[in-house]
Structure formats: structure tokens, C-alpha cells
Amino acid sequence: MARRSWLVPAAVAAGLLPLAKLAFDGATGGLGANPIQALLDRLGFWTLAMLTATLAAGPLNAQLGLAWPLRIRRALGLLTFGYATLHLVTYAGVDQALDLRAILADVVKRPFITVGFATFLVLLPLALTSTDAGVRRLGFRRWKRLHRLAYLAALGGVVHFIWRVKADLRQPVLFAVALGLLLLARLLPRRPAARTAGRAPRPRPGGEGGAAVGDTRPAG
Ligand code: HEM
């Protein structure tokens, strides 16, 4: 397939749109009566949405034979981590005004915060090893095993969301269903067409077919 050099920049630009909208709403008073909470909620939502999109790349290739999702997977994984970091920074720096004692008390006393932190800690090594050097250092097999933790992070994100939501569970349940379907898709045999149509180089984070958070199955 012809190399589409615009694909990754287009994916990154699309992935940054929610952030641009957030900045616009923030600057124009569009975040409502409690802007800090709105900021936290939207950044948390997009963290989970980007993570789900990252995890969908493998099954889209394996079951539908699409090659392009693998090409943007690394970018999606890094966008996930970017949103997660902004979410954490907003919580620690803005919501809690960097009061480490209050943050620690929150982590210990509020299970949904405990799970949020744990989930961020799961995402951290995935982001840190998403470079070519990361794959080389770990060796492909170990690297692949490590990156399966992206599913654990998604589960953590869903639990965090469910525990945070007080009444309307529709959104977290939708994420839970999506995650369940993605896990089920991993159990299905890879469609033979996917091997050729979706063939991409071994996960090589810096290049096409590259890998990052959520990248656990090489094409082919
Ligand atoms: C780094 C540690 C984390 C902390 C301290 C944290 C904290 C928070 C807080 C304070 C809220 C808002 C609660 C409220 O509105 O009352 C929230 C919402 C949320 N967070 Fe986190 N979070 C963390 C990590 C994560 C991660 C890693 C994910 C996703 C994988 C995530 C996904 C969400 C979601 C989906 C929401 C709710 C969004 C909505 O209501 O639309 N959080 N988080």
C-alpha cells in the first residue's frame, strides 16, 4: 500500500481537537458553573476515549483487514497519555492546588481516586517504552507482554468512571461494552485477509506500523 504520510499528522490533529475545544470553551466561559470539574471530566473522558481507540486498532486490522489503524496506533497511544497527564495535572495542580497532603488523603480515602492513580501508573511505563529504543531494550516479546497492560488501564479507566458517576451510568457502560467487545475480538481467529491487507511491519514505534500504549499484536 502506498505510504500515506499525512495519516499520522491527520490523526494527531483530530486527536487534539477535543483539547482545542476545551481551550476555546475555557477562554469563552463555556465550561459552565464549575469549570475545574468540567475540565477534569472532559480530560478524563478523552483519556478513556483515546485509550479505547488505541485498543481498537488491533482488532480493526485483524478482523477487517484495515492497515491504517495500525499506522496511527502509536499516535493514539501517546494522545491517551497526553490527555491522562493533563487530567492528572488539572487534578493535582488546579483542583488540589498541589497540596500533597490533601492529594495523599484523597488517594487513600476515595477509591475512585485510588483507581485513577493506579491507572495512570499503568499507563506510564507504556508511554515510556513506546520508542524504538524501548522495544529494543525490552526485547519484542517482553515489550508486547508489557503493552497488554493497556487493557488493564482501560478496565481501570472504566471502573474509575463508574465510581465517579453518581447517577447516569450510560457513558461508562458504553465504554465497558466497547472494552468487552475488543477483548472478545482478541479471542477470534485473525481473518486470513488481515494478514496480507493489514500487514504492517513489526511494531516499531517510530515508524509506520509503530506501537505504543495498547499495541500488543503485531500484524501478520
Ligand atoms: C492520574 C490519576 C487520576 C486522578 C487523580 C483522577 C481524578 C479524577 C477526578 C477528580 C475526576 C472528576 C470527578 C468529579 O467530577 O467529581 C475524574 C473524572 C474522570 N476520570 Fe480521572 N483521574 C485520574 C486518572 C484517570 C485515568 C488514567 C483515566 C482514564 C483511563 C481517567 C478517566 C476519567 C473519566 C472517564 C472521568 C469522568 C469523565 C466524565 O464524567 O465525563 N482518569 N478523574
* Residue 158 falls inside a structural domain: yes
CA distance 110 to 160: 11
Global pTM reads 0.89
Q: In the prediction, which pLDDT does 215 show?
A: 54
Q: In the prediction, which pLDDT does 14 show?
A: 98
CB 204 within 8 A of CB 132: yes
* Residue 166 falls inside a structural domain: yes
Q: Is 82 in the pocket of ligand 1 (CB under 6 A)?
A: no
Query: Exposure of 32 by Cβ count < 10 A (0-12 exposed, 13-18 middle, 19+ buried)?
Result: exposed
Dihedral over Cα of 190, 193, 195, 199: its sign: negative
CB 67 within 8 A of CB 60: no
Taking the CA of residue 156 as reference, the ligand 1 atom at the shortest distance is: 30
In the chain, how many domains are there? 1
Q: Is 52 in the pocket of ligand 1 (CB under 6 A)?
A: no
Q: Which protein residue's CA is at the shortest distance from atom 31 of ligand 1?
A: 44
* Residue 123 falls inside a structural domain: yes
Phi, psi angle pair for 168, to nearest 5°? -85, 105
Orientation of helix 170-187 relative to helix 149-164, angle to 10°: 160
Q: In the prediction, which pLDDT does 200 show?
A: 43
Q: Is 88 in the pocket of ligand 1 (CB under 6 A)?
A: yes
* Residue 206 falls inside a structural domain: no
* Residue 149 falls inside a structural domain: yes
Taking the CA of residue 80 as reference, the ligand 1 atom at the shortest distance is: 30
Residue carrying the nine cell digits 477562554: 27
Dist. CA 209 → ligand 1 center (Å): 30
Q: In the prediction, which pLDDT does 199 show?
A: 43
CB 111 within 8 A of CB 85: no
Per-residue cell: 152? 488493564
Dist. CA 215 → ligand 1 center (Å): 23
CA 17 to chain centre: 15
CA distance 3 to 51: 25
Expressed as residue numbers, the domain containing 108 is 33-197
Please tell me what DSSP assigns to residue 157: H
Q: Is 179 in the pocket of ligand 1 (CB under 6 A)?
A: no
Q: Is 113 in the pocket of ligand 1 (CB under 6 A)?
A: yes
Q: Is 40 in the pocket of ligand 1 (CB under 6 A)?
A: yes
Dist. CA 85 → ligand 1 center (Å): 11
* Residue 102 falls inside a structural domain: yes
Number of Cβ within 10 Å of residue 34's Cβ equals: 10
Q: Which residues contact 112 (CB under 8 A, 6 or more apart)?
A: 159, 160, 163, 164
* Residue 176 falls inside a structural domain: yes
pLDDT tens for the chain, 220 residues: list them.
Answer: 556 799 999 999 999 999 999 999 999 999 999 999 999 999 999 999 999 999 999 999 999 999 999 999 999 999 999 999 999 999 999 999 999 999 999 999 999 999 999 999 999 999 999 998 999 999 999 999 999 999 999 999 999 999 997 789 999 999 999 999 999 999 999 887 664 444 444 554 433 334 456 555 443 3
* Residue 110 falls inside a structural domain: yes
Q: Is 164 in the pocket of ligand 1 (CB under 6 A)?
A: yes
